[in-house]
Every structure is written in C-alpha cells, then in structure tokens.
Structure 1
C-alpha cells in the first residue's frame, strides 16, 4: 500500500482514486479490525489521561488556587471542541481529523499546516508524557542520573512503538486495558480524597507576582495539554466502526468523563497536600494518598497506576503520530514514504520516525534545559491550538455558508458552541506565552520547505506563464 498513493497513473481521475483509496482502507480495516464505540471512547480517554494529570497539580499549584478556575474554563472549552469535532467527524468521516477538515474548507496549504502542527504536537507531547512517566518509575527505582532517566524514557517510548507496529487489534486491546487500570484509582483519589480535604492546604488564590488574570491564562495553557487527545478518534476515522455516529459520541463521552475526573482530582490534591509541599512534589498523586492514609503502600499503588497510565497514553499518541502524516501523504501533502505500511497495516515509517524525534526531545529535556516539563508543555499547547482553531473555523465556515443546511435553533446552538471553541483557541495561544509561541511558530515555518519539496517531488508546481498548473494526468 506504500506506493499506492504516490504518483497517480496517467488518466485516473481524482474520484476514481478516492474510490480505490477507500476500498484499500476498508480492506485493511476488515483484515486487522476496527474500533467500536467502547474502544474509541477509551482511545480518547486513554490519550487525554496520560501522565500529564499525574504531575499537573504540582505545576498548577505554583499559580495558586486560581488554577482551579483555569481548569474549569479549560474544561468548558474542551467540551465545546469535542462537540465541534463530533459535528465535523459526522460530516467528513475521513482519516486525518483536523487536517482533513482544514483542507476541505480552506484548501491544500492550510490543510498541510494543520497536519504539520498536529504532527509536531504528537511527538513533542509524547516527550512530556515520558518525562512524567520517568518521575513515577523513579518513585520505586530512584535513578537520579540524567543517563539513567533518559534510558527509562526510551523504554517508555519504544515499547508502545513496538505495540503499534504489531497492528490495530493490539492497539485497541492495549488501550482499553490500560484505560481501565488507570481510571479506577484516579476516581478513588478524586472521590475519596474529597473527604480528606483541609482548607489550610490550599494556599493563596494567586501565588504569582502578576495579576490573577495572567495567572489564569498561563495555568489554563498548561491545563490544556492534559486535554490534548480530544480529536483522537477523528485522526483514525477510517479505523472506527460507523464513524459518522461514533466519532461524535466517543469525543464527547471521553471529554465529559475526563473533565469530571480532572476537576474532582485537582480539588482533592490541592486540599490534601499542603501548598508548599505540592509545588515541589515530583509525584503529587502518590503524596496525596500518603497524606490521606499516613503512608504505607497507597502511594506506591498510585505511582504504579501512573506508570500504567503513561504507557497507555504514549501507545495512543504513537498511533496518532503515524496516522496524521499518513493521511496527509495520501493526499500528496506529506512525503510519500509516510504511506508505507507493514504486513499488519501499521504505518511503520511514521511510527519509527515519530518515536525517534520524541527520543531526541527527551534527551534535550535531561541534558539541555531546566524546567523542561513546563517548557515542553507550553510549546505543545501552541502547536495543539493551531489545528483546534482551524477546525472550529472550518465548522463556522460550513455553518455560515449554509453548506450544512442547518437552520433555526440548531444553527444558533452550533454557532454558539463554535464561537466558544474559537475564543478558547485564542485564549490558549495567549496563555502559552511569548517564548512558546515563538519557538512553536519557528517549528511551523520549517514545514513550508517540506511542503514545497513534496509538491515538487510529485511534479505539482505553481502556475507559470505559458505553462499548465500541473502535469497532465495529475490532479491538484
């Protein structure tokens, strides 16, 4: 299948190739299995609930209890995005998610930039998940050297890569199992922890030197990362059973489940771990359990759950690292090599390359910077927001042009939800901060030469005086 979506044979129409592509996708899905609603929802929950939530309370505590307000606002924005993705997935049930929506609404280059931005998010974000995973593994091992921690990060990254290379059936089963194993203890902390909350533990409302509005924005940008994954099922739409129905349901169900757990667990952690201790905690959930029950094995159980959670999240994101560029490559916007699959239908080039790039970010975290976790999170937040913004704008485009033929009360409701999603994306861009936006934008610019090279490789050039827009037999 790797060469099927490269140069189009002379004389074949775009419609004919689309049918061939759909038939090929269906054949692979039939052979290797599709994800139903429970597995699709677990993919969303599994990708959203990674290891970020297990360290985030410590990062948020530095901003004070105002970060609880930030978490609530981010949860509202994430729910609005889930609804938007559900509408978009029902309209365009094709692989690629945000990339496919931007391309369909605005054209090739905006589609490419969304694919590029999401690809950056996926492998950069996996590094942040791996960093937290190492922290919780070290609850047991206490490997403090940079070399040892880097080696552990490699273990966290390459085991999921091998699982992904083994095929979609194993991905779905592994995702479902790890989601269940990590979710039960998280609910325990979120619910039981509320009975151990002490008001003296919460600390100041605004613990920064600036105003509380700025603290809300920055804390919200950090919190957005733990919602990255709301679009998960849209990326792999071709591997979802009945995508027009299940994409929307899985997205909304997954976000609602995570939102409830995040809010309760954040309040429980803030109320059970004293503020000064929480700010410096490498394992806040484990510390919360120890404070509730006076030490013992509880903290170790929670650390073990975080380890399982991290592997599950990296497994899901590794799938997305490969699926997004594969969808773009099929349309001629990414290098053709990303379409190559192994005998089990796994896009092996995307899996291996994405994991290798993530490994480099992990090395940089341990050898090249301080406060690496927050820096990586904020850069990933910026690159996450770009596809979210374009997707919400694509929904707005279809609504206001009448393409969806929506009228009356439903039009007003959909416009309101879409407006919330757009404003949410603006706010998160501001909250990411100047440094993250600057670095993220530079990484976005790197994609332009890749786009030019890919189009030139396919013989698809810009219009020139006296020359056709593209060679005969090729569709743009």
Structure 2
C-alpha cells in the first residue's frame, strides 16, 4: 500500500500555492486601472466562478489520480488532439507568464529601494538568469521551501489588509463604476491570472487519500476568498489601488517607511521561487511533449527545453524592452492561454464524471466559458498557438509516417504508450 505523503494541512498549502502567486503584487493596481472601485465586482465574481471549477478539478483528481493533470483528462475525454492543445497552451504560456512575474518583482524592488526606471528590467533579467542557472545546475526548491514562500506571501497580503483597513474611506468608492460594466469585464480578463491554477491540484492527486484532496481544496477556497476580497476592498477603499505598488502603499499605513524594503525583498524572494519552479516544470513539460512527437523530438531532454524557454523569454523581453513597461498585456495573454486550459479541463470533466460531480462540472464549464469570453481579443494568443502547433504537428506526421514502427498518429510505439504521463504546471503568477 502506497503511503500518503500529504495530509490535509500540507495538502492545503500545496494547493493554495498553485493558485496564489507573486502576481498579487501588481494585480490590485491593474484591475483598478481597468474598472476603478468596481474591480471589487470582478474579484468577487471570479471567487464565485472558482468554487465549481476547484471542486471539479478535485473530483477529477480523486477519480483519475496521477501526475498527468489536465492534459491527461482532456486526452481521456476527447482524444489526442485535446491532449496536445493543453500541452501546447501550457508550454507557450510559461515564457510569457515568467517574464511578467519577473518584471512584477523587478518593479516592486526598484520602487521599494528608489532605483530609477531601467532598474526594473535589470532586476527582472537578473532574477531570470539566476533561475535559469539554478535549473541548469539541477537545483530544485523543495516542498518545505515552497510552503515557506507561500507563508511569506500570505504574511505580506494579510499584513497589508490589516494595516490599510483603518484608512478605508467611503469617498474612495465613488464613483463605483467609472468605466461601467465593460470596465469590470476588462478587470476580469487580467484578474484571471490570479484565479487559474486549480488544475495544479490534479498533479498532486496521487498524494492524497480518500476525501483529503476535496477537503484541502475547500480550505484553499476559503483562504483565497478572504485574502483576495480583503485585498480588493482595502486597496480600493484606502486609495492604494491607484499606486503601481499597492501592497507597499497599504503596508506603509501601518509600518511607515519600513514597508518599502519589506515588500521589495519579499517581491524578489517570491519572484525567484516562482520563476525557478515553473521553469523546472516547463522543461519537463517540453520534454514530455517532445517524447510524444507533439514538439520537435530534439527537445526530449529537459535541458534543451530549458534553452527553448530561454530563447522565448529573450525574444519576448526584446519585443517589450523598447516601450514603456506595461505588465497588463503580458498578464492578459497568459490568462487567455490558461483560461482555455481550464475551459477544456472542465468540459472534459462533464464527460468523465458522473452524478453530483458531473452537475458541478457542467456549472464550471458554463462559468469558465463566460470568463473565457471576457478575455476578448487576447484569445487570439491560444488560437495562434493551436494553429501553429497543428501545422508543426502535421509536418511531423508527414516525415514520420513513412518510418517503420510508427503509429497512425505519427508517433513511435514507445512514445504512444507514454501519453498518460504528461506533467503540466502553470506559469508563475
């Protein structure tokens, strides 16, 4: 009998770590820019959407335990094409999301220490370089360190809520919807970055027994709702949401100038931890996709996938370097990719689950489809990835079809047997 390694509390910490990330350093400001105080509606709406989505992925994990995650579920429900799409969307979202996360950490540190604007890019580049070096050297962040980083982020967020609560004034909530409901919809598009990640629980499903995964997911929902709505209300009500570094502004109400270096150092630590972890996951994801001929077979080694990640992030960084720093489009593009993954995953659950679980999955599919629509023009990103991936895949099939020992999918017999072993991770949030 396999020993269960995750109890309820440790499991809750790991599931919460899949959702909560350093993106929270900047999202209150970006959401407020889109919708004003009405961003609170977007926060609350996404909390509501998260309930059936989180429960659905927990039920999927209990029904089909293992490390394959959403790619495995999508493949089991719809076939290899769905498996491929999920893998491509995750793999392509990582360089965008990690660049955005590194820039967010750089912005916070630069602002905290009073360094000039270019320092943001320099810090982000140093964080990325350190994370790539750590991965190349085979260094990994352990589970206890990850829990420690999560605890640090929670301390910063809860501290900001407590410190800024006395400064909340009704005047800051007027007008409540300065940009109408359209602004709320735009806020949802960027805030999706803070709400994707429920699929991460499916990768841990084999580590739970009985209903522990469902319990851990429920506790995570409760913590997330309190923290997210607390930050949303106090950031808007204290005027801190107008600052590009809202948590620093919120904390300064209670601890004064000390808030700047505290949040600056916290931002650097959290950003490095998240980027390092997701680069490690992406390198393995790329290798797994390559083994199944869903990416060039030369990438079947994690080190080579890591080089692809480095090249992609460099290109994205060069493209954005010549213009004013704007995290909003990077976060929205990442959110669009991950929202499509969630939509396909919940749709797969409709086919795979029965009874109450299927009813929950139907509700989750309907709600994720609605939030997906609010991603707007950024849906062109996952669409382009799907088209490009399909075209590359078709080229592989032509070249491999004539080789002996290949399947009708154009993969080797050995690769075809590995279909259920794809491991996917969300990019740094």
Q: TM-score range by the shorter chain?
A: 0.7 to 0.9
Task: Find the partner of 1:61 among 19, 29, 32.
Answer: 32
Q: Mean Cα displacement is larger for which, 118-127 or 149-158? A: 149-158
Q: Tell me whether 1:307 sits opposite 2:268 in the alignment.
A: yes
2:245 to 283, 289, 292: 283
Q: What displacement does 1:262 show?
A: 0.9
Match of 1:260 in 2: 226
Contact 2:113-2:260 within 8 A present in 1 as well: no
- Tell me the SS of whatever aligns to 2:36: coil
1:190/1:468 Cα in 2 relative to 1: closer, same or farther (>3 Å)?
Answer: closer
Deviation at 1:103, TM superposition (A): 0.8
Paired with 1:255 and 1:159, the residues of 2 have a C-alpha distance of: 33
Q: Please say if residues 238 and 250 of structure 2, whose CA atoms lie closer than 8 Å, have aligned partners that are also in contact.
A: yes
Aligned to 2:281: 320
Partner deviation per Cα, 1:153-203 (whole Å, 9 max, x = no partner): 122223333444565863423312211222222112224433332212234
- State how far apart, in whole Å, the 2-side matches of 1:35 and 1:256 are: 19
Q: Deviations over 1:248-300 (max 9, x none)?
A: 555444444223211111111112226xxx33x2211111122345x321233
Q: State whether residues 96 and 328 of structure 1, in contact with CA within 8 Å, keep that contact through their aligned partners in structure 2.
A: no
| Equivalent position of 1:101 in the other structure | 73
What is the rounded CA distance, in whole Å, between the counterparts of 2:17 and 2:128 in structure 1? 16
Q: TM-score, normalised by structure 1?
A: 0.76
1:304 CA displacement: 2.6
Cα distance between partner residues in 2 of 1:243 and 1:450: 40
User: Shift in Å at residue 89 of structure 1?
Assistant: 1.7
Moved more, 384-393 or 136-145: 136-145
Q: Is residue 431 of structure 1 aligned with residue 374 of structure 2?
A: yes
Determine if the alignment matches structure 1 residue 446 to structure 2 residue 388: yes
1:474 aligns with 2:413: yes
| Displacement after TM superposition at 1:245 (Å) | 6.1
Give the CA deviation at 1:231. 1.8
CA 1:92–1:334: 2 relative to 1, 3 Å? farther
Query: Would the alpha carbon gap of residues 372 and 35 (structure 1) be closer, same or farther in structure 2, given more than 3 Å must change?
Result: farther
Q: Give the deviation of 1:332 after TM superposition.
A: 4.0
In structure 2, the partner of 1:129 is 101
Greater shift in the superposed pair: 105-114 or 284-293: 284-293
TM-score, scaled relative to structure 2? 0.84
**Distance in 2 separating the partners of 1:335 and 1:93:** 29
User: Could you tell me how far apart the structure 2 residues matched to 1:351 and 1:358 are?
Assistant: 11
Q: CA offsets per residue over residues 294-347 of structure 1, 9 Å max, x none?
A: x3212332333233222232233223323433443444433334442xxxxxx3
Contact 1:43–1:316, Cα closer than 8 Å, also in 2: no
Distance 1:288 1:333 in 2: 46
The match for 1:48 is 19
The farther-off stretch of 299-308 and 53-62 is: 299-308
How many residue pairs end up in the alignment?
411
CA contact under 8 A between 2:163 and 2:254: conserved in structure 1? no
Candidates 367, 373, 379, aligned match of 2:327 = 373
Q: Residue 263 and residue 355 in structure 1: after superposition, are their counterparts in 2 closer, same or farther (change >3 A)?
A: farther
Unaligned 5+ residue runs, structure 2?
417-429
- The residue number in structure 2 matching 1:217 is 185
Contact (CA 8 Å) 1:164, 1:318: kept in 2 or not? Answer: yes
Which residue of 36, 39, 60 corresponds with 1:88? 60
The alpha carbon displacement at 1:380 in A equals 1.2
> 1:422 aligned to 365, 376, 389, which one?
365
1:390 aligns with 2:344: yes
Give the drift of 1:76. 1.7
SS at match of 1:65: helix
Q: Does 1:230 align with 2:198?
A: yes
- Change in Cα spacing, 1:93 to 1:161, as seen in structure 2 (3 Å) is farther
Pick closer, same or farther for the CA change 1:437–1:207 going to 2, 3 Å: same
Q: In the alignment, is the contact (CA less than 8 A) between 1:79 and 1:256 conserved in 2?
A: no
- Cα RMSD (Å): 3.2
| Contact 1:84–1:395 (8 Å) recurs in 2 | yes
Q: Is the 8 A contact 1:49 1:313 kept in 2?
A: no
8 Å contact from structure 2 (residues 84, 294) kept in 1: yes
Q: Kindly state the Cα deviation for residue 236 of structure 1 after the two structures are TM-superposed.
A: 6.4
Verify the 8 A CA contact 1:330 1:336 in the aligned structure 2: yes
Q: Distance in 1 between matches of 2:373 and 2:396?
A: 32
Compare 311-320 and 78-87 and name the one that shifted more. 311-320
Aligned to 1:464: none
